[in-house]
Amino acid sequence: MLQVRKSGERGHANHGWLDAYHSFSFGGYHDPAHMGFGPLRVINEDRIDAGAGFGTHGHRDMEIITYVLDGELAHKDDMGNGSVIRPGDVQRMSAGRGVMHSESNHAKDRQTHLLQIWIEPNVRGIAPGYEEKHFSEAEKRGRLRLIASPDGSDGSVMMHQDAKLYVGLFDGAESATLPLQASRLAYVHVATGAISVNGIALNAGDAVRVGAETQITLTDGKQAQVLVFDLPQ
């Protein structure tokens, strides 16, 4: 089963300083048919204006992964972490029993373009945690690079869920195939460019829900950056 959702079918909210597209119900956007997929609960594609951002706010019992596509995002939290994440950086914050943080685009002359991903954890009430790693373009070029996993394998960040997240860059003849267990789910999100997923042509912002399949094959990329989630039911 492959179910395509086009970019324009997502929820959209323009707050002036923030232009956001929601793959799943979030904030003022509610669609009972798109509440999440397995434990994948949020993919927000955000564009934050220069000098703007999210003030200090709280989260609980959620694995939050931030992936910057362009620009920079400054992060501060009440665990004592403070950093600036850039393209290629992966930030994982386990909200656990509660965390307060802020995120901002401190640039004076450019937007920040990012994906914020929420995955429901398989354990609740844990101590909050933070992790950040960089994955170079070379590591992702023409292949699916594991960037988040339940055990931190292959240098990925560790999340509290039986799920894996891969990212790949594809152009021209570059291709990759990811084997899947037919009993699990997968979700493919095209962050930039265009690519074919199992022969289905997709553009930036498009996504495919995958079930009862044994592999995902990515071909015909045109400056594509793709995220692939391997998820439990």
Q: Is the pTM of this model over 0.85?
A: yes
Residue with tokens 């955000």: 46
Residue 79 region, left (φ>0) first, then alpha (ψ -120 to 50), else beta? alpha
Report yes or no: 29 and 18 within 8 Å, Cβ to Cβ.
Answer: no
Cα separation of 195 and 203, whole Å? 7
Cα separation of 162 and 171, whole Å? 30
Per-residue pLDDT tens digits of the chain, which is 233 residues long: 999 999 999 999 999 999 999 999 999 999 999 999 999 999 999 999 999 999 999 999 999 999 999 999 999 999 999 999 999 999 999 999 999 999 999 998 999 999 999 999 999 999 999 999 999 999 999 999 999 999 999 999 999 999 999 999 999 999 999 999 999 999 999 999 999 999 999 999 999 999 999 999 999 999 999 999 999 99
- With H, G, I as helix, E, B as strand and everything else as coil, classify residue 140: helix
Domain residue ranges of the chain, discontinuous segments joined by +: 2-231
Report yes or no: 82 and 59 within 8 Å, Cβ to Cβ.
Answer: no
2-231: which CATH topology?
A: Jelly Rolls (2.60.120)
